[in-house]
Amino acid sequence: MPLTPPRIVTWTLNPAVDFVSTAPVIAATHKIRTHDEHVDPGGGGVNVARVVHALGGETLAIFTAGDVTGRFLDELLEEAGVPRHRVPIAGRTRVSFTFREETSGREYRFVPEGPTLSDAEWHAALAALPAASEHYVVASGSLPRAVPVGIYAEAARLAAARGQAFVLDTSGEALRAALGHGITLLKPSLRELETLVGRTLPDPAAQEKEALALVRNGAARMVVVTLGDAGAILASEAGVLRRQAPPAEVHSAVGAGDAFLAAMVLALARGAAPEDALDWGLAAGAVAIAGIGTARVTRSAVERRYAALRTKSAAGSA
């Protein structure tokens, strides 16, 4: 274990205030009475920072935020005790809504585009990245309007020049533009990987082949592809490792991928082997989907899940 606790800096350009609630039935034009309402600070990197903090890691959440909803987001992070640095913007931070229908178990997610950032605002966000040699920088989430698609590539180049490990979890053109610019760990979902390669990947062999190709083509040093309830695959120069997801009752998938990434990065930052870090990620993802709200986990619950996974793995290899 490192003598100095590793600090994981997260960078979120399009955060959100997440509202989650439950209703017996969701029907058009009817007034829907909800219950089990939860409000969380959200957005990819914000969720990662929250989970790292919950697991006992040292973190700093850097995010853009504006107007009354931006102040509310900042207050929610303060309430959660997450160290943070807010980059002020003129636009209003978006609000996302998730509704769970009890009778069907379906989850309905409404995710706005978010504000438009000026050139000065996104430049300020880029300048807010620490110049010191932090252990890991995690850039996660969608881009706000008017932010150039190459901004994650620029952040990756900056991190590499500063000796920082750079982790990226995004999609679309921003993902494509960042490949090959010094990414340590890339985390696409299966759908994002399929979009990237331009075809469906229905079988494990095809999924593993494309993930490994990204590593060998220099897109990233490691690629971890989340597969939902099928688990995840991790590709590196050592080859491809596939792990099954632990069984879990699904209540909400919101932020589960962020919880997975947070636990995996924290384990890597603490010196864990990649396959061990993968199990930490799967454990945190399983805990997140079993809860209600965005990426809500506890350290004790994740540690129990991880211990069960390692016991099962050891029994399978005996």
Where does the chain have alpha helices with state H? Answer: 44-54, 67-80, 119-127, 151-161, 172-178, 190-197, 204-216, 256-269, 274-290, 299-317
Element (H, E) at 232: strand 232-236
Q: What is the CA radius of gyration of the chain?
A: 19
CA 28 – CA 32 distance, rounded (Å): 9
Residue-averaged pLDDT of the chain: 93
210, HSE (Cβ side, Cα atoms, 13 Å):
20
Give the Cα separation of 232 and 160 in Å (integer): 26
SS3 258: helix
The Cα–Cα gap between 189 and 73 comes to: 26
Q: pLDDT band for position 9 (50/70/90)?
A: very high
Using DSSP's 3-state secondary structure scheme, residue 191 falls into helix
Given a cut of 50, whether residue 1 has pLDDT beyond it is no
- What 3-state DSSP class applies to 298? coil
Distances (CA, A) of 209 to 55, 142, 169, 220: 33, 26, 20, 15
Is 0.85 topped by the overall pTM? Answer: yes
Predicted pLDDT of residue 3? 43
Answer for the pair 282, 231: CB distance below 8 angstroms, yes or no. yes
Question: Going from the N-terminus, what domains does the chain have, and what CATH number goes with each?
Answer: 7-317 (3.40.1190.20)
Mean pLDDT of 142-147: 97
Q: What is the pLDDT of residue 252?
A: 81
Provide the annotated active-site residues: 258
| pLDDT over threshold 60, residue 66 | yes
- pLDDT per position as a tens digit, 78-116: 999 999 999 999 999 999 999 999 999 899 999 999 999
Instruction: Report the SS3 class of residue 35.
Output: strand
Q: Would the pLDDT of 260 be above 70?
A: yes
